[in-house]
Amino acid sequence: MSELLGVWLGAFLTLCIFSFLYKDNPFFRFAESLFAGVSLGYYIGIVSTNTLVPNMIRPLTADFSGNAHLLIPLLLGLNLYTRYIPRIAWMARLSLAVYIAYYVGIFMVQKLQGEVVPQVGKTILHPIGGNFTPVDNLIMMVGVLSVLIYFYFSIEHKRAVGVVSRVGIWFLMLGFGAAFGYTVMGRISLLIGRMNYLFIDVVQITSQYL
Amino acid sequence: MPETWYDPSRCGAPLVVLLVFCFFVLLFINLARRGRKLFIRRIAGIAAMEEAVGRATELGRKVLYLPGGGTLDDIQTIASLAVLRHVAGLTARYTVDLDVPNKDPLTFAATRDTVHEAYLQAGRPELFHPEMVHYVTYDQFAFSASVTGLMVRDKPAAIFLIGAFHAESLLMAETGQSVGAIQIAGTAEVTQLPFFAVVCDFTLMGEELFAAGAYLSGEPAMVGSIKGQDFTKAGLILYIIVGILLEIFGIHWFRDFMTIQ
């Protein structure tokens, strides 16, 4: 019975959200508020159960001296709340600074090693050699160089630089067009999934109880 | 040196590029701090920001600023904070309502501080209310449902979507467009840029967002880092051109050096 109730509740809330396509209305507002509230509560539960308890509380209670280093992130986390005490609110920024600096360091190396350097290596091609046709090679070389010049901010885009950067914009727009089509296809498959839920799952589960 | 500290296979091109990049960034930050004027070209979307806030003032409607769904480990969010400071300064100056809903808790803390500081700097601290920067939820689509509802009910005259956006980008930008708001977007998420380019009036694409952050803040560290990136980029462009010429003559060293096994 709970399955039947769940599937009809899901269908009702889906229709409430879809009703926004007509205009804003009380059903949409109800679903919107419910969705926001439930998701926030769920997120707090997930963080607490999957992150805080296994990575912080359990190790500290099991072996405090062996896991004393965990006090550093704990203190950094608690330090964030000093922002509610006006006199020492500036201290919260220390935690944010550690957090940002840590990720900047990691991402800088990741991006260089995973994206920048391989892209440069793959762009250095013999114009009429390699695995691709000469036209493909030319598109690759002109595309990468012109887009790089478009994103060069130290000079005005005038005369020759302006012409090359316009070519870069064309390459960007072509890329966006392809990405747009690809993503729209993905969204349509999500819509099909929801329609399957409304017209197949709901009907099948309901028929089991009739 | 213990082996775990040092991996020789990773010390080719990435290390060299990293060192060159750091050198240029530190050099230009230093120059900027010493007062050297560093040129960064003006980007179209920046000029439109003041127009958008001005339009909201004329219409007596609010400005909605969305800092994206990213947390503070994402450089797009950091750049968004610099843009937010500028926009909040404008809303304080023009005495127009500002609304900043947040998805990420850490970003929420930073955006509230940023808006507060902007109002203090503009000499209008009495206009700042903590509720103008509020938290919604962490769930991507629950957040976008709340924001789209807010757009339809409040009908903001100007909407800024600046930061890291994902699948929710089109939902929010299309709703914003339907309520007739001027929309200025900026993100480095390649998969979301097409949606912003189609729906918004101005779009800061990829690095333009970071350059806008630096341009607006004028902070030596940010301006210097953009300048440092530009010089690294120029070096890489030159490297590619020389590499292609050498490939024609059968010399593969340039390509091989940049090939990660």
Please give the single-letter amino acid code of residue A101: A
CB contact under 8 A, B260 and A121: yes
A1-18 pLDDT per residue, tens? 788 999 999 999 999 999
Residues 6 or more apart whose Cβ sits within 8 Å of residue A78: none
Q: Give the gap in angstroms from C-alpha A61 to the nearest C-alpha of chain B.
A: 27
| Domain locations in chain A as residue ranges | 127-210
Is the pTM above the cut of 0.80? yes
**Residue A179 CB-density burial (10 A; 0-12 exposed, 13-18 middle, 19+ buried):** middle
Choose the closest CB to A39 out of B142, B255, B260: B142
- Residues, chain B, total? 261
Q: Which residues in chain A are closer than 8 Å to B205, comparing Cβ atoms?
A: 172
Who has greater pLDDT, A113 or B162? B162
| A-chain residue closest to B215, CA distance | A153
Give the β-pairing of B133-135 and B98-102: parallel
Asked if the model's pLDDT at residue A45 lies above 80, the reply is: yes
| B-chain residue closest to A174, CA distance | B194
Handedness of CA A48, A50, A54, A58 (dihedral sign): positive
Q: Residue B240: its pLDDT value, please?
A: 95
Q: Could you read off the pLDDT tens digit of each residue along chain B, which spans 261 residues?
A: 556 776 776 678 888 999 999 999 999 999 999 988 888 888 888 889 999 999 999 999 999 999 999 988 888 998 899 999 999 999 999 999 999 999 999 899 899 989 999 999 999 999 999 999 999 999 999 999 999 999 999 999 999 999 999 989 999 999 999 999 999 999 999 889 999 999 999 999 999 998 887 888 778 888 898 899 999 999 999 999 999 999 999 999 999 998 876
Choose the closest CB to A118 out of B142, B239, B260: B260
CB contact under 8 A, B78 and A108: no
Q: Give the gap in angstroms from C-alpha B61 to the nearest C-alpha of chain A.
A: 19
Find, among B163, B240, B203, the residue nearest to A172 by Cα.
Answer: B203
CB contact under 8 A, B259 and A118: yes
For the domain spanning B45-217, the CATH number is 3.40.50
A60-86 pLDDT per residue, tens? 999 999 999 999 999 999 998 998 888
| Domain locations in chain B as residue ranges | 45-217, 219-261
Q: Between A and B, how many residue pairs show a Cβ–Cβ distance under 8 A? A: 169
